[in-house]
Amino acid sequence: MWCSLLGLIVSTIVISVNAQGCPGGWLHHGSSCYAFIDSEPDGWLEAMFFCSSVKAKLVEIETESENTFLKRHLQAIGTPHNSSYWIGLSDIIQEGTYVWQTTQQRPDFTDWGSDEPNDLHHNEDCIELYQVKNFHWNDVACSVKSKFICEITLDGDSGILGK
């Protein structure tokens, strides 16, 4: 299933780029394009590898504007109760130090849910947007199955669109 999903997305990228410079099916906001992937990989790392395989990254949310855009979209599409979406933030390397995957920078902006991050059972190192918490950020075990969001930055960081 993963192969066919990958093939579908790669072919979509190859055949169409929309007016804002995003691949077909990706949403544009600011200087990035976003794909909301409903398939649930076996964990945060696999979601990250999937985004890499389409020359994107697991979404990294630098600003309130970007965060609001993502949350509004998730609220608008009416995701099922209890659903969640991986983002590219973790404290895998050092407990309590949250860094974005591609830059290893600590976030300037955060949107934690109430009582989060709580590192429940000392086993929550990967971050999701959690429907139960109105898509505020939550740390959870990295092995959990979640949906995820890939981001391509149009300034050329992710490289997909020809710079």
Smallest separation (angstroms) from Ca ion to the CB of 163: 17
Q: Rule CB under 5 A: choose which of 40, 46, 111, 119 binds Ca ion.
A: 119
Long-range contacts of range 122-128, CB-CB < 8 Å, 24 or more positions apart? Answer: 122/95, 125/90, 125/91, 125/92, 125/95, 126/43, 126/44, 126/86, 126/89, 126/90, 126/92, 127/86, 127/87, 127/89, 127/90, 127/98, 128/84, 128/85, 128/86, 128/87
Q: Does 128 bind Ca ion (CB under 5 A)?
A: no
Q: Which is nearer to Ca ion, 34 or 50 (CB)?
A: 34
Smallest separation (angstroms) from Ca ion to the CB of 39: 22
Q: Which is nearer to Ca ion, 44 or 116 (CB)?
A: 116
> Which residues bind to Ca ion, rule: CB under 5 A?
60, 91, 116, 118-119, 124-125, 138-139
